[in-house]
């Protein structure tokens, strides 16, 4: 059986066995699964390797790219702006960012933008992939672009653009970039190993990612899905991985450890506080996690329920059995979730990506086993 490190109290033995079985079966290269209850880390499993050559164990300081799981962190940071009274969820984005009102977008609210209703999942016409390394250019293009569907007709997942949109609103209101504020206000004071915009000093800790064997299933392809996922410029390219890590892409390039993500999500699971520090007020937490839109998504082939930047549990997304659970998955398997009914938060990171955009079978199985132990 694979060597598993970390902590696994007797009551969670079945979770440890399931985690080890994934590694033994070759489903993982390296991975970590962390669980907090009432803000306390009660289960923390890691195993496998951080590198393709299998020479470096996946350890406590291994950072992993978490792709769209980053959006859960960004949703919390945007909620803090609401909590500070700098903006409300029903405020039109154009009140903060006047240029955004172009092409019929003047009524788009912050909540609609964060719940993927703004109609801007990608560039039309397509852009060159290098544009993503110039945040000002990305925001100018998106501000000028018309929505790809009428406002109020549903959600369409914005895989990368939503991070730039949120980041621009954050910068205009706070004066700092979202990644800088994350470090200064939450991660440094609370000891959280989460980064949006990774400095060179931390690059040596990043796990080597094994890309998925195939592209995700997007269902029937149309112009909206091509703009979001398939056009040449639908994702960053043309520069190296170090440049990508340094950039702040609050939708896609977060780097984190599982225990840090689980601890951060415990603020959502536990009424808005972490380690006795108020992260957001209970009233803002309720607004953050309230349903904003539900139904068939226009980009990914799922029925989704969106809060203000967080996925709400539908049963199909396999965020456990909790009716109030919220969270987010990342491309290839990573995930973070919060179950307020049980004051439980969970995070899973790995460096062997699968084809799944949501509900990767590995964390789904671990979560199912976890709830069986509670």
Q: Do 255 and 208 form a contact (C-beta atoms < 8 A)?
A: no
Identify whether 266 is a catalytic site residue: no
Predicted local distance difference test score (pLDDT) of residue 215: 87
pLDDT of 35 reads: 98
Task: Name the CA dihedral angle for 325, 331, 332, 338, rounded to a multiple of 10 degrees.
Answer: -20
Buried b (16+ CB within 10 A) or exposed e, 302-334: bebbbbbbbbbbbeebbbbebeebbbbbbbbbb
Q: Which residues pair with 35 in a beta bridge?
A: 43, 346
pLDDT of residue 247: 96
pLDDT at 317 exceeding the cut of 80: no
Decide: 39 and 33 in contact? Cβ < 8 Å. no
Tens digits of residue pLDDT in 275-293: 999 999 999 999 999 999 9
pLDDT for 21: 97
- Contact between 37 and 342 under an 8 Å Cβ cutoff? The reply is yes
What is the predicted pLDDT for the residue at 235? Answer: 94
Residue ranges of alpha helices (H) inside 149-281 are 161-174, 178-181, 188-190, 223-225, 241-246, 258-269
What does the buried/exposed string (b/e) look like for 187-197 if buried means 16 or more CB atoms within 10 Å of the residue's CB? beebebbbbbb
Half-sphere exposure of 131 toward its Cβ, with a 13 Å CA cutoff? 21
Q: In the chain, what percentage of residues exceed pLDDT 70? A: 99
Rounded CA-CA distance 153/293 in Å is 9
What does the pLDDT look like over 157-194, one tens digit per residue? 999 999 999 999 999 999 999 999 999 999 999 999 99
Task: Say what the pLDDT of residue 314 is.
Answer: 87
Alpha helix positions (H), 25-160: 70-83, 93-96, 110-114, 135-144
List the one residue out of 112, 110, 123 whose CA is nearest residue 170: 110
pLDDT score, position 8: 97
CB-based contact 28:348 (threshold 8 Å): no
- Cα–Cα–Cα angle for 19, 210, 233, rounded to 5 degrees: 130
Cα–Cα dist 236/75, whole Å: 22
State the DSSP code for 206. B
Say how far apart CA 246 and CA 257 lie, in whole Å.
Answer: 17
Kindly name the residue from 7, 34, 68, 354 that is annotated as catalytic. Answer: 68
Residue 66 has pLDDT above 90, yes or no: yes
Separation between Cα atoms, residue 30 and residue 59, nearest integer Å:
9
What span, in angstroms and rounded, lies between the C-alpha atoms of 321 and 372?
Answer: 10
pTM assigned to the model? 0.98
**Per-residue pLDDT tens digits for 328-341:** 999 999 999 999 99
Q: How far is CA 77 from CA 23, 113, 196, in A?
A: 34, 15, 11
pLDDT at 315: 76
Kindly tell me the sign of the dihedral angle through the C-alpha atoms of 141, 75, 280, 181.
negative
């Amino acid at each position: 059986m694979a060597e598993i490190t970390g902590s696994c109290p007797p009551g969670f033995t079945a979770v440890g066995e399931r985690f080890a079985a994934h590694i033994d079966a070759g489903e993982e290269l390296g991975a970590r699964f962390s669980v907090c209850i009432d803000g306390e880390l009660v289960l923390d499993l890691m195993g496998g390797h951080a590198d393709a050559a299998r020479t470096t164990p996946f350890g406590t300081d291994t950072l992993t790219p978490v792709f769209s799981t980053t959006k859960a962190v960004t949703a919390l940071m945007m909620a803090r702006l609401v909590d500070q009274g700098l903006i409300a969820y029903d405020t039109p984005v154009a009140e903060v960012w006047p240029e955004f009102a172009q092409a019929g977008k003047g009524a788009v609210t912050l909540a609609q933008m964060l719940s993927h209703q703004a109609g801007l999942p990608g560039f039309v016409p397509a852009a060159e992939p290098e544009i993503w390394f110039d945040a000002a250019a990305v925001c100018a293009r998106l501000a000028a672009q018309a929505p790809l569907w009428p406002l109020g007709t549903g959600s369409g997942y914005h895989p990368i653009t939503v991070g730039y949109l949120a980041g621009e609103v954050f910068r205009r209101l706070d004066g700092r970039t979202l990644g800088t504020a994350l470090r200064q206000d939450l991660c440094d004071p609370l000891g959280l190993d989460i980064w949006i915009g990774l400095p060179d000093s931390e690059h040596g800790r990043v796990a080597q990612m094994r890309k998925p064997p195939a592209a995700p299933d997007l269902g029937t392809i149309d112009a909206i899905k091509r703009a979001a996922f398939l056009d040449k410029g639908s994702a960053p390219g043309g520069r190296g991985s170090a440049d990508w890590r340094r950039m702040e892409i609050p939708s896609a390039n977060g780097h984190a450890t599982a225990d840090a993500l689980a601890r951060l999500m415990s603020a959502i699971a536990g009424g808005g506080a972490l380690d006795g520090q108020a992260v957001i007020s209970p009233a803002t937490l309720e607004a953050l996690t309230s349903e904003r839109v539900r139904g068939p998504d226009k980009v990914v082939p799922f029925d989704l329920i969106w809060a203000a930047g967080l996925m709400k549990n539908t049963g199909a997304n396999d965020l456990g059995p909790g009716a109030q659970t919220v969270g987010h998955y990342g491309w290839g398997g990573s995930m973070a979730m919060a179950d307020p009914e049980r004051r439980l938060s969970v995070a899973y990171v790995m460096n062997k990506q699968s084809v799944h955009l949501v509900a990767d079978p590995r964390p789904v199985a671990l979560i199912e086993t976890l709830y069986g132990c509670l």
